Structure 1
């Protein structure tokens, strides 16, 4: 912008002189040139004229401004669309996560129910097996105690190995089971069940062929067979193997009679 002030030499001022000249034009925006001559000067002063020139906007400037505005508008629209897409994706991801969590919880619950059912069925079968064994043993048995004792004595000197079932190595309950199998009686495999596999009798009223047990009835940890004269035969332990021992040295907790 340029400013030009014209101050004329001293002359008699014109009476009541005032003049305002405004030139204006528009070229796509605002383009104007305003010339103002002040009429409020003192009577003894010459009029002052001031010319102000405004910047000129060309068609190219206007076109660039319009293009910039359009680009900004388009960018805003793109940003809004992108934000909408991101919001939709986040909402969908949250739905999928919630669905997956619910499905996992249902599967875990179903698995827990299935496991509980399997445990219950296994326990039922186990109890049924014990009951069937006791029922079978309560029936009249064939054979004799002499046959049982003869079989046991034939195994004297065999090794003791936990879990072994013969013919040259035994654990305590497998030896007892094999002996009674000789006379047609099928005993349970483990000591706990053998200790309740017949009629409970006191250790002061033993007969040959009675099953002796150590520990509680139903929770025994060892079994053997009474062979008379205060003695019993058992698969004792790894260091002794199958031997005959005196009850006085290791009294039994109880006894059951199956013959």
Structure 2
């Protein structure tokens, strides 16, 4: 008998492949077997999803550095975890655009003033639907991860902390981003169900994501509060500078496109 994943030769009594670690499936796929697999991976008390989620709060360095150093069986793979977070974002966007459309309407004074100004013929954004931006949250998350990874890598490279290369910083930021996305989506859905103001809640959650980033950097790089604060400030400066440049370029492209 050979492993169906890596073709390694197996003994009849083996339950896991000693080459790739995959579980040996001997039973034919049936609804009961499929339900057992779903329960094992996502709903059981010791499943990888719950363990990854909890430990990214309690001890994020164990999850992140474990993956970087080669531990891949205890926690969900970083790309799978990020993909799961994007799926949850899709559910959030669907609920916001169908059941909670009125609650998520951008009706603040700032947005209303901008929309009023956008009715003038000289404003290139007069026909732009800002609420439609919610539909592109997943794409926004995907595009921001490489820039956030570049920000942490460059910040620590400047100060001489070069323990991790760019790809490893990408792993750090993927786990961080996935955790933030999951929490944001869950809290957004929860608060919308209870009728709370979407803009206020999203602003509070947005601030807490930076607090969590500080915590992750402190744990992963094992620095004290003040050293972490200095590094965090440098990372944020690079973040802000990068996104200002990107935003300016996007604005120019948008204006040029609209005026063609």
Flag whether TM exceeds 0.5 (same fold): no
**Higher relative contact order (CA closer than 8 Å, sequence separation 6+):** 2
More helix by share: 2
Q: How high is the TM-score relative to the length of structure 2?
A: 0.24
Larger radius of gyration: 1
More strand by share: 1
